Structure 1
């Protein structure tokens, strides 16, 4: 593939004035078709049904005045930014600005204004070394997004609402690894979360400059080996939380769609709605603590209201 400028698609979620408006579409019909094929769900749900889903957000809603922390979200490999919509909406409803990032040529298909960008990297990436390169490349993407949101000539019309001193980041799967890599190279990110992502690109030996980091995942051996390896390198506030009964996709929107569409459960006993609630609660608590300074007891010890969450 000839060298060309990197393209990114970013969706912005933000606290808005409560006025009637048109609900934001979840994803386009072309994106839906490619996602269904990639998840081997062809015949179980139609692209028309998936693309007709509407989110809880309103398109181009008037922004609510104020200064808000920024959280940047990076999806898993082959997934697109839309699969973290439930989390983005939750954070925006709690007073955060959220940027969800699509990494071009790494999702099943991203709809750009001039057409679909299919997943070229899907057939080119293999093994730990390949995924480490993906994480490092995404870290450059994520720092570029911060440049374009917080620089002197921002690309987003509501950029004045962003509190540049309170920036967090979270990612699912390889997006979680990219979050750690970004924090290792970009001091603007004050706190980060890895949601069930193996650390193919390791945490640096000298840590993350004392900044907080949360490992939130399923109780499987996939990311656990690299988490155990790099746990001593995390040199600030840190937690490792396992969600009993969950699987790799339970930190995204995908199980919710499967549940609503009647697609057979892949064998993980945690209900989709409960997985969503746990992800929302712990991610929001983490950023409330580290970007707002609000104490969060559920991050200090096991909670009776969240018995599935095990402190490692």
Structure 2
């Protein structure tokens, strides 16, 4: 089965860029049947940034607070490194906050940044500060606003740290959501824990067939359900501001493999009411019986050639509210922060990539927020009714 919406290692910084081979970086995952071959990166083509990247300003009325949680699932051994003991996850919790409280939140830890750059561009000219100096809009330990807000769980792409969806998390929070952004340990370039240990990607390069990719998606669904267990536990939730969460309004979205994981999550966890896939091949197939009538958004780039069969199969089986929307001129990273870095560093983009990083961010934010505003808040969203002259890059499939 063709899988066109996720190259073998395209979900991390610099890996979706078709550069010439000079001093090349080997991709972290080998190609498998039906998937494009991994691409390489030329170090000489990477220009150091002169100023830090600034994430686009959130568009909603709320200031953004940030807490970071370390969660341990004592009932589940780590699926990739059983000898490590129980499954451990790091989760960034974004919440509506009072303006002017808290302190500036860092984008990522220095060690995680170093591992990300070293994994993708060994010997490169990019200093760690090119990532750690990123300007975010969240404030650590900010004072929370009152009220109850829908919760959205975000899952990043395979090999990508959770920080690739920071901009989306901040924007959703500014619009009145609590957001749980999950790092899936051993599945990305590096996850830093409170003791300072940063664990690398162990599963990278080991997924060679559809069954293995589906297993990854199912494992992520278990991660998400565990996170929900700990956030909604009564009387002792894992998060100090758990009172902000409206337990009856929970959604999930993800990029690439994180988007694919929404299918098993929706099928196995009744608490999750709606799901959105951002350019991820659906390795875990939607069953003939559908997904229980739950709303589903498929948001991806326009492909040059045949459509991803996993998407056409899923579209026919979805049994609730559904939209299939594509962005012309986008590439696999246009739905994340990573294109902002690629553009800043002067790296070439894949053929057909005509959409600026800023425009990719704008469109992704707009359509993801519209989906959850409609499905979790019940607010009518004309943006989701069909094409609009304001967004000529956007196509609705039927």
Q: Which TM-score tier does this pair reach, normalised by the shorter chain?
A: over 0.9
- Once residues 272 and 282 of structure 1 are traced to their aligned partners in structure 2, the CA distance between those partners, rounded to angstroms, is 16
- Once residues 41 and 270 of structure 1 are traced to their aligned partners in structure 2, the CA distance between those partners, rounded to angstroms, is 28
- Once residues 21 and 185 of structure 1 are traced to their aligned partners in structure 2, the CA distance between those partners, rounded to angstroms, is 37
SS in 1 for 2:157: coil
Q: 1:155 to 1:20 in 2, by over 3 A?
A: closer
Work out whether residues 196 and 215 of structure 1, in 8 Å CA contact, stay in contact via their aligned partners in 2.
Answer: yes
Q: Tell me the equivalent position of 1:248.
A: 332
How far did residue 49 of structure 1 move? 2.2
Work out whether residues 170 and 192 of structure 1, in 8 Å CA contact, stay in contact via their aligned partners in 2.
Answer: yes
- Once residues 165 and 244 of structure 2 are traced to their aligned partners in structure 1, the CA distance between those partners, rounded to angstroms, is 22
Query: Tell me, which stretches of 5 or more residues in structure 1 are unaligned?
Result: none
Q: Tell me the equivalent position of 1:214.
A: 297
Please identify, of 257-266 and 14-23, the stretch whose mean Cα deviation from structure 2 is larger.
257-266
SS in 1 for 2:333: helix
- Which of 255, 258, 263 is matched with 2:347 structurally? 263
How far did residue 222 of structure 1 move? 8.5
- Which of 316, 323, 335 is matched with 1:232 structurally? 316
How far did residue 106 of structure 1 move? 0.2
Please identify, of 38-47 and 122-131, the stretch whose mean Cα deviation from structure 2 is larger.
38-47
Q: Tell me the equivalent position of 2:116.
A: 35
SS in 2 for 1:84: helix
Higher percent of residues as helix:
1
Please identify, of 18-27 and 42-51, the stretch whose mean Cα deviation from structure 2 is larger.
42-51
1:151 aligns with 2:151: no
Larger gyration radius, structure 1 or structure 2: 2
SS in 2 for 1:168: strand
- Once residues 208 and 306 of structure 2 are traced to their aligned partners in structure 1, the CA distance between those partners, rounded to angstroms, is 15
Structure 2 counterparts to residues 18-97 of structure 1, below 5 A? 18-40=99-121, 43-97=124-178
Q: Tell me the equivalent position of 1:128.
A: 210
**Deviation sequence 1:40-94 (CA, Å, 0-9, x none):** 3752522122112231111110000000000000000001111000000000000
SS in 2 for 1:248: coil
How far did residue 264 of structure 1 move? 3.0
Please identify, of 193-202 and 252-261, the stretch whose mean Cα deviation from structure 2 is larger.
252-261
Q: 1:46 to 1:38 in 2, by over 3 A?
A: same
**Deviation sequence 1:155-208 (CA, Å, 0-9, x none):** 000000100000010000010111111001111111100000001111122111
> What is the TM-score of this pair, normalised by structure 1?
0.96
- Once residues 145 and 209 of structure 2 are traced to their aligned partners in structure 1, the CA distance between those partners, rounded to angstroms, is 45
Work out whether residues 196 and 223 of structure 1, in 8 Å CA contact, stay in contact via their aligned partners in 2.
Answer: no
- Once residues 314 and 266 of structure 2 are traced to their aligned partners in structure 1, the CA distance between those partners, rounded to angstroms, is 14
Q: After TM superposition, which residue ranges in structure 1, 4 or more long, deviate above 4 angstroms?
A: none
Work out whether residues 254 and 260 of structure 2, in 8 Å CA contact, stay in contact via their aligned partners in 1.
Answer: yes
Structure 2 counterparts to residues 129-208 of structure 1, below 5 A? 129-152=211-234, 153-208=236-291
CA RMSD of aligned residues (A): 1.5
1:119 aligns with 2:119: no
- Once residues 165 and 198 of structure 1 are traced to their aligned partners in structure 2, the CA distance between those partners, rounded to angstroms, is 28
- Once residues 102 and 239 of structure 2 are traced to their aligned partners in structure 1, the CA distance between those partners, rounded to angstroms, is 20
Q: Tell me the equivalent position of 2:384.
A: 299
**Equivalent residue pairs, number:** 312
Q: Which has the higher contact order (CA 8 A, sep 6+)?
A: 2
- Once residues 123 and 286 of structure 2 are traced to their aligned partners in structure 1, the CA distance between those partners, rounded to angstroms, is 38
